[in-house]
Structure 1
Amino acid sequence: MPTIDALSERLTEYLDPQQIRQVRRAYFYAEQAHEGQRRKSGEAYVTHPLAAASILSTMHMDHQSLMAAMLHDVIEDTEVSYDGVCSQFGESVADIVDGVSKLTHLEFETKAEAQASNFQKMVLAMAEDIRVILVKLADRLHNMRTLGAMRPDKQRRIAKETLDIYAPIAGRLGMRDVQIELEDLAFQAHYPMRAKYIRRAVVQARGQRKDVISSIQDTINQRLRQEGLNGTVTGREKHLYSIYNKMKSQNKSFAEIMDVFAFRVVTDNVDDCYRVLGAVHNLYKPVLNRFKDYIAIPKSNGYQSLHTDLFGARDITIEVQIRTKEMDAVASQGVAEHSHYKTYGDSDSAVGSYKRARKWVQGLLEMQQRAGNSMEFIESVKEDLFPDEVYVFTPQGRILELPAGSTPVDFAYAVHTDIGNSCVSCRVDRRLAPLSQALENGQTVEIITTPSAQPNMAWLNFVMTGKARTAIRHFLKNQQRHESIDLGRRLLNQFLSKYGANVKDVDNRKLQELLDEAEFKSLDDLLEDIGMGNRQAYVVARRVRPEAEDGAEEQRESPLAIKGTEGMVLQYAKCCRPIPGDEIIGHISAGKGLVIHRTACRNIGYLRDDPDKCIYLEWYDELKDEFVADLSCEVESHRGIIAELATMATSMGADLLQIDIDDHEGKLAKVNMELQVSDRIHLARVMKKIRALKTVNRIVRK
């Protein structure tokens, strides 16, 4: 176990004596605050914050981060308050400690909602100071190292949480060393038997591969010396969780994964990186389409390197990564390498990593503000923690980084939320393309917009980024709310018309009583509830109607006009497919809004005679929408009959959505057709045209 003296000795490498004294003072303060407390393993509790601070010291983090690591549990687990920490160690340290303290209940053993809510708090704390998540990752890493003291069921819960959230966040911040250790420790805790067998196989394979690796390494070193290039060549070993993931996702055997030999070359400057690339390409043949330049176009977490795959001797596949020393440090420590919190040095790679991390956190904040609830937010974040990216261009040449599998809709929302909301189509490499098409590296994407456009619910089936998903849901929820309020007002007005009144005439005292009883803040909330079918309009009308004057009689309600633009809160019943011209009736379905049937529909029969549950409707005079109608035809079967029926339908301006032959009886066949028509008159014309065919014996509307 580390000691405070050993840590102080290590800190002399990069902190001045005054800063080291402050770190030691924070340790002794924590030791006193946690006096008498023990960990599950039996050790004094203060060993944990000391170990977390030691982990941060290996990243050369600043003294305030180390002090916050020492104190990260005092607010949560002792009598010490935020003000106490602030008065002793300053506001910056107290804010980091407070930010980390709010996250301590983020465990799977708590309710999912509580977990998601705490995750939101973490994002808000990260937005204030990104060191909050660095301290939390150090805290989690030491907890994972000492997880063996926990019960097996709790080990699995914490391990799953680490794999789902903390390891991906470490990767997203570019902290690869922390990510790899978290993944391997969590893998061993969650899948102990699988980890055991893979580890055993790796040890065995390591002995068999030793000579091959040494031979390739010597050959590359020799070529670099011949070319007069400086570079340190090392063999890279895949970690357990990476091997397991590749075996699972790529459906490959262990032998196939281990057949690839990986090497890393670290040089002095960017110019040498490209010279080394040329040298290794002269030495071994490169694999087509397996070269990636992350120096010119860094990954979203700031990672920079050249990647190339080569065919070596004896049919061996070789992976080579080439980078500078600065890039290597950033690849290992990511945002923790940034000099913003350090007293020495500076590097473009580290600054770039920090800026990208801040941009990602700002993106999380935007998603958090738009998300409907904490559960929706955490799901969006999980979807956004992608390890792979595609790089696409705007028509102006700007590069955008998107998760692998992203579509033009994701691209549109990445440019701006308003662009996504008004997107109607796109061009990929100057050709029209579907909005659901997966984008590839190097493509140029142009989004075509129109002010009247709006997001489609179907987009949620294929978008990949959390930003796009959250923005679409946010728009649709707002749209649904507006439509629900409008429908709720119309329904309430209809039932109030029985009493010769409308929403403006309601008894305010009665209305307020109803709002208080239902815990609604405003009349709009009540109208939305009515429009969504969660509350019956006739019940509300009776509660809030104005006092009847003497001799006043109830009036007959007027039918509600259907405009066809009610959108998400109005549905046409599929059992009878009503179209303009039909006599219609509606009923309110909880959570769905108004469902419209034909008056003669058998499925509405049991409600038809109940005026409080059924609403008499009429079509608005000017409807421009198209509606679906089902036809059933009895025809004399012969070759080309389907084509004839389709031609007749389309010749009358009806869109044919579906056509199929249901069953045969000798030469007779039953054909079902699904058409889009404007109204009942249009449908009658289509039916008359089809009926004129000699082979059609009978045609009826379903």
Structure 2
Amino acid sequence: MQTIDALDGTLKSYLEPEQTRQIRRAYYFAEQAHFGQIRRSGEPYVTHPLAVARILADMHMDHQSLMAAMLHDVIEDTGINKAAIGKQFGAPVAELVDGVSKLTQMEFDSLEEKQAENFQKMALAMARDIRVILVKLADRLHNMRTLGVLPTSKARRIARETLEIYAPIAMRLGMNAVRMEFEDLGFSALYPMRARRIAAATRKARGNRRELVEKITHQIESSLAQEGHTAEVIGREKHLYSIYKKMRSKKKSFSEIMDIYAFRVIVDSVDTCYRVLGCIHSLYKPVPGEFKDYIAIPKANGYQSLHTVTMGMHGVPIEVQIRTREMEDMANNGIAAHWLYKSDGQSANGSHARAREWVQGLLEMQQRAGNSLEFIESVKIDLFPDEIYIFTPKGRILELPRGATAVDFAYAVHTDVGNRCVACRINRRLAPLSEPLESGQTVEVLTAKGARPNPAWFNYTVTAKARTNIRHFLKHQRREDSVALGKRLLDKTLAGFETALDELPVHLLQEYLQRLGYATSDDLMDDIARGERLPSVVAQQLLGEPVDARAMETSNSAPLAIRGTEGFMVTYARCCRPLPGDAIAGYLSPERGVVVHRESCRNLAEVRAKPERLIALRWDDSITGEFIAHLRVEVENRRGTIAVIATRINSMGVNIEKISTEDKDYQFTYVDLEVQVNNRVHLARILRRLRGIASVRRVSRLKN
């Protein structure tokens, strides 16, 4: 069993005597607070905070972090509150302890919501002090080491949460040693049989490989010594979870994964790193496209190293990582190395700055997320580990996850740039916003003043920042659109009673809102636009008298003008594709708002059974926007006919949304097109041009 005396040697090696004394005082305070409490393993509870402090001490964390580690369960598991800790040990330590403590006093609907709320609280505390997450990671690491005493179901739940959240966070903060231990412990708890089998196979393979590993190590050391380089060469072992992940993702057998031999070369300076790389490449042939320079362009978590893959003797693939001693410490401890090198380490400060930038991003996501579950999903997306590096036109480098598009890039530059982007240039050529980006590309985003996010962007954005901001904007935009439409619908109905919303007495509207439980009139308008309340019923209730048939008929006969700028709360039916110039009618649909149909649409006939939901509509004289028209072109079976049709339409500046073919018989084929048009006149011009093609037999607009 660990004791505070056993920790003393480590503390005295890097802390002041007064700081060591304060840590001891925190330990004795925790020992008293947890007196009588026993862990499931049968040990006194205080052994847990002591073990957490030991993990942080091995990382050379500061004395306040170690004091918080000693006290991190006091608020949660004893009667002592944050104020008492602040009085005894100071506000910074109390804030750290409070940030790590769970939300024990609140009731939640589900375990997932509880976990999400706890993580959200911790993220907010991290924004105030980044050390909160380091104490939490150490706490979780010791819990994972002692997982065996828990019931299987609870152990599996904790292991899954660790693999999904805490291991990626450790990776994001550059704490590779912690991340690897999280993954192996979580893997063993979640899939014990798979872990045992891979561990046994690894031990067996290691014995078979020992001779070749020693031979390659000797060759690299001899080659470097001849060039006058002093270096430490280590045969690098893959950990269990990484072997398992590679077997699953790459669909390879265990023997194929273990065929690659990995080595790490640790040298004294950055200059020597590049010289050693030359020696390795002269010793073994490099594999083209497999060299990565993370020294010149560090990873987002501050990781720096040279990576190369070479072909050794008998065609054996050899992975080599070359780095300095400081880079090695940074790779293992990440942001924790900030305290190790805080006196003069610029790279450590860089890692600390990157971590703070990431936490600020978390804070922004949290503010824009609808709830804690949405926030934690965004965080999981953000922790996606595979990166690409993209250049701005001015040469700034931005790190994005693999699969990111120009929309993700635009939001990474700035939220306003993302909200207003309309097009992009990739390496100076115009490209679609949906095109996946590749490392090394230069991307320029084109913006427009009146532009706004498109719901279709959800189909090809991968970063949490982009998705959270698009969702946030659309949510607010939908609300604005629905409130504006609700007012128009209610005003239209009230016009039949020779009054208007603005003319109603204020007290009448306020009484009505209170009676129905609405906080504001905007909430009522929102419900009207979404079809939750019918404007005719609301008008009747507001006026407080029965509506005669004539007045009702008048209110319904005055058509609502469709301007094309109503936004989300006016939907154009896909069945009949109404265009400006068509006779139209509509109905109020729950959640979808006003659905516009052509008057002749047979689907509208089905709704006529509910006349209270029907709305008389007309196109506004100043209608703007683009609308989809569905065309069917009957053509002779000739080679290149579809290309001629597409070229003819494009020459008119018309966009083709969709194209498909269907054989009519051996001589003729149907070509179905969906094109963007402004109105019926515009459509007539397109039909006239298509009929001029020699192989076209008939062109018609599909009605349903």
Scaled by the length of structure 1, what TM-score is found? Answer: 0.93
Residues 690, 367 of structure 1: CA spacing in aligned structure 2 closer, same or farther, 3 A cutoff? closer
- Decide whether the 8 Å contact of 2:562 with 2:623 is kept in 1: no
CA offsets 1:4-46 (integer angstroms, 9 cap, x no match): 1101232111112221121111111111111222222222211
Partner Cα distance (1:554, 1:531) in 2 = 19
Q: Is 1:140 the counterpart of 2:140 in the alignment?
A: yes
- Structure 2 match to 1:20: 20
Q: CA deviation at 1:374?
A: 2.1
Alignment of 1:154-553 (within 5 A): 154-339=154-339, 345-516=343-514, 519-545=517-543
Between 1:156-165 and 1:601-610, the stretch displaced more is: 601-610
Displacement, 1:577?
1.9
Q: Match for 1:475: what amino acid?
A: F
Where 1:309 maps in the other structure, the secondary structure is strand
Partner of 1:562: 562
SS at match of 1:336: helix
Contact 1:652 1:685 in 2 (8 A): no
Aligned equivalents of 1:540 and 1:63: distance in 2?
Answer: 65
* Partner Cα distance (1:645, 1:107) in 2: 63
**Distance in 1 separating the partners of 2:292 and 2:658:** 46
Match of 2:112 in 1: 112
Q: Deviations over 1:557-579 (max 9, x none)?
A: 22100011222211111222222
Confirm whether residue 51 of structure 1 aligns to residue 35 of structure 2.
Answer: no
- Between 1:343-352 and 1:685-694, the stretch displaced more is 685-694
Q: Which residue of 2 aligns with 1:591?
A: 591
Q: Over residues 169-218 of structure 1, what are the superposed CA-to-partner deviations in whole Å (9 max), with x where a residue is unaligned?
A: 01100111100000110011111111111111100011011111111111
The answer to whether the Cα contact below 8 Å between 1:144 and 1:182 also exists between their aligned partners in 2 is yes
| Stretch moving more, 256-265 or 527-536 | 527-536
* Offset from partner CA, 1:151-180 (integer Å, 9 cap, x none): 111111111100110000011001111000
Give the whole-Å Cα distance in 1 for the aligned partners of 2:485 and 2:618.
15
CA drift of 1:657 comes to 4.8
Residues 587 and 594, structure 2, Cα contact 8 Å, conserved in 1: yes
CA contact (8 A) 2:48 2:142 kept: yes
Distance apart, 1:226 and its partner CA: 1.5
Question: Residue in 1 aligned with 2:73?
Answer: 73
TM-superposed deviation, 1:307? 1.1
Q: Point out the more displaced range, 324-333 or 12-21.
A: 12-21
Change (3 A) 1:77 1:509: farther
Q: CA deviation at 1:54?
A: 0.9
- Structure 2, unmatched stretches of 5+, are none
**Long gaps (5+) in structure 1:** none
- 3-state secondary structure, aligned to 2:554: coil
Conserved? CA contact 1:2–1:54, under 8 Å: no
Change over 3 Å in CA distance of 1:403–1:500 after alignment to 2: same
Q: 2:8 maps to what in 1?
A: 8
Q: More displaced, 670-679 or 596-605? A: 670-679
SS in 1 for 2:496: helix
Which residue pairs with 1:131 in the alignment? 131
1:152 and 2:152 aligned: yes
SS in 1 for 2:574: coil
Q: Distance in 2 between matches of 1:275 and 1:653?
A: 57
Contact kept? 2:687, 2:699, Cα under 8 Å: no
Letter of the 2:576 counterpart: C
What is the CA–CA distance in structure 1 between the aligned matches of 2:502 and 2:69, rounded to whole Å?
Answer: 60
Q: 1:88 to 1:559 in 2, by over 3 A?
A: same
Query: Does the Cα contact within 8 Å between 2:341 and 2:348 map onto a contact in 1?
Result: no
- Aligned-partner Cα distance in 1 for 2:577–2:436: 35
Instruction: Tell me, yes or no, if the aligned pair for 1:578 and 1:598 is still in contact at 8 Å.
Output: yes
- 1:26 and 1:656, CA in 2 relative to 1: closer, same or farther beyond 3 A? closer
- Asked if the contact 2:423/2:433 (under 8 Å) is kept, the reply is yes
SS in 2 for 1:391: strand
> What is the CA RMSD across the aligned residues, in angstroms?
3.0
Residue-by-residue CA offset, 1:274-303 (whole Å, 9 max, x unaligned): 222222222212111211111111111011
Q: Give the SS at the match of 1:338.
A: helix
* CA distance in structure 1 between the partners assigned to 2:649 and 2:235 by the alignment: 69
Q: Given residue 533 of structure 1, which amino acid in structure 2 is its aligned partner?
A: G
Distance in 1 (CA, whole Å) between partners of 2:245 and 2:4 is 39
For 2:637 and 2:282, the matched residues in 1 are separated by 70
The answer to whether the 8 Å contact 1:173/1:335 transfers is yes
Tell me the TM-score normalised to structure 2 length: 0.92
Q: Is the 8 A contact 1:188 1:195 kept in 2?
A: yes
Q: 1:347-370 CA deviation, whole Å, 9 max, x = no partner?
A: 122111111111111111112122
Distance, in Å, in 2 between the alignment partners of 1:175 and 1:645 is 58
Cα-to-partner distance string for 1:500-531 (whole Å, 9 max, x where unaligned): 22222335445334544555432222222322
* Aligned residue identity for 2:367: Q
Deviation at 1:612, TM superposition (A): 2.1
The answer to whether the 8 A contact 2:155-2:189 is kept is yes
1:100 Cα shift? 0.4
Rounded to whole Å, the distance in 1 between the matches of 2:294 and 2:565 is 49
- Residues in 2 aligned to 1:673 and 1:306: alpha-carbon distance in whole angstroms: 52
1:63 corresponding residue in structure 2? 63
Q: Deviations over 1:65-86 (max 9, x none)?
A: 1111111111111100111111
CA apart distance, 1:536: 2.6
